[in-house]
Amino acid sequence: MTTLSHLECSLCQKRFEAGIAHNLCECGGPLLVRYHLDKARENWNREWLGRAPATMWRYAPVLPVSRPEKIVSLGEGYTPLVRTRRLGARLGADQLWVKDEGLNPTGSFKARGLSCAVSMAAELGLTKLAIPSAGNAASAMAAYAAAAGIEAHIFMPRDVPSSNYIECKAFGAKVTLVDGLISDCAKIVNDRKQEEGWFDVSTLKEPYRIEGKKTMGYEVAEQFQWQLPGVIFYPTGGGVGLIGMWKAFEEMETLGWITAKRPKMIAVQVEGCQPVVRAFEQGTPRSEFWQNAHTVASGLRVPKPLGDFLVLNAVRDSGGCAIAVSDEELLDAGIQLAAEEGMFVAPEGAACIAALEKLLASGFLKPDEKIVIYNTGSGLKYLEAYSTRFPRVSGGEQDKLGGLITPR
């Protein structure tokens, strides 16, 4: 059972009581969940995980839900860590793995965060949830809200992948398509939430999505027998997965499960939307709003991450870096991975492969480092993006070796 203690502002460290619905601190800082880790250390042993469920809820003592019957689970987490030998041989990385989050419910890592957030909403008696999303978070919230019997209000840019829109409608969510970016969707939720009675589950505007996502950090440690890799690549839109893993590493060290050694954290963005990369390069603690954000990787089209300072702190403290790649590079990398390893990944995950190639070529990373790439979603959710690389031929009979043959 949970060892939940309290909530704490990530900026001013003000303490908040658990068991009450909270959004941001008065100072604007996101709230982080804190646990009685000394109590957890006394009563919970990592060897017990051998008898735990094969979902992220195997780490229940460091997740916030206090009433097990309120957990809303669709089997999220415990995703495979795949050794990619052919890809590694081509790029010059001797020890390369992909953590495939595309095998989660609704096809992305967002299932982790929304399982936890919706479970806490159920525990706290919330009945209406609202979310602005670039796509996959909306799909996940719609699914978990449906499973919980909670009303879901979703605001997405009009040009999100069609899979996200169709999923949300199928799950019974109330969907509004917005002419603009996720930042425009967030403004609508913020302006209307009080009048409509919605609880805002925007990225980092509530404290529990990060708790679900941090389990990616627990899992990679467990899958490597409690020895963290040397490098972690993470596609960074809102960056909550990276923030969550960094939090998980701190918790596991306190529990005595890992040492103080940390992976180099690599935040990967795209050339058309790289606020974190720009802030990293300029040495500033926060990013600036990225004007005219554009990319085929919809999850990376976040012009101003709320938790940018937490991402930048983790990257700098770990000796990592932030790097951007082009849409062309990430699509080509995704197709190459599919052909070499049989893994069809989201453009966001593919961006990490393109970034890895650049950092190996520059000498920033060495061939013998143990490297993990996080693929955050299934490529099947981004068929429109990948279709630009595979235009369909119309008319006429073509050769038998892979071309289109029209019936006579």
pLDDT digits (tens, 9 = 90+) for 78-130: 999 999 999 999 999 999 999 999 999 999 999 999 999 999 999 999 999 99
Which residues constitute the domain of residue 256?
81-106+210-386
Q: Are 118 and 145 in contact (CB under 8 A)?
A: yes
Estimate the crossing angle of helix 240-255 against helix 209-223, to 10 degrees. Answer: 60
Cα distance between residue 263 and residue 268, in whole Å? 15
Amino acid at residue number 211 = E
Q: Is residue 91 part of a domain?
A: yes
Cα angle: 173, vertex 174, 178; to 5 degrees = 120
With respect to residue 144, please indicate whether it lies within any of the assigned structural domains: no
Task: Answer whether residue 197 is part of any domain.
Answer: no
pLDDT at 252: 98
Asked if the model's pLDDT at residue 371 lies above 90, the reply is: yes
Query: Does residue 230 fall inside a structural domain?
Result: yes
Is 130 inside any structural domain? no
Q: Model-level pTM greater than 0.85?
A: yes
pLDDT tens for 197-238 read 999 999 899 999 999 999 999 999 999 999 999 999 999 999
Average pLDDT, the chain: 94
Residue-level pLDDT at 184: 92
- What's the distance, Cα to Cα, between the start and end of the chain in Å? 66
> Could you tell me which residues come within 8 angstroms of residue 11 by beta carbon, excluding any fewer than 6 positions away?
25, 27, 28, 29, 30, 309
Tell me the CATH number at 239: 3.40.50.1100
State the Cα–Cα distance between residues 247 and 215, nearest whole angstrom.
10
Please give the single-letter amino acid code of residue 371.
I
* Domain assignment of residue 406, yes or no: no
Residue 311 near residue 276, CB atoms below 8 Å: yes
Q: How many domains does the chain have?
A: 1
Lowest pLDDT segment from 57-61, 133-137, 258-262, 327-331: 133-137
Examine the pLDDT at 391 and tell me if it is beyond 70: yes
Task: Flag whether 329 is in a domain.
Answer: yes
Residue 128 lies in a domain: no
What confidence tier does 142 reach under pLDDT thresholds 50, 70, 90? very high
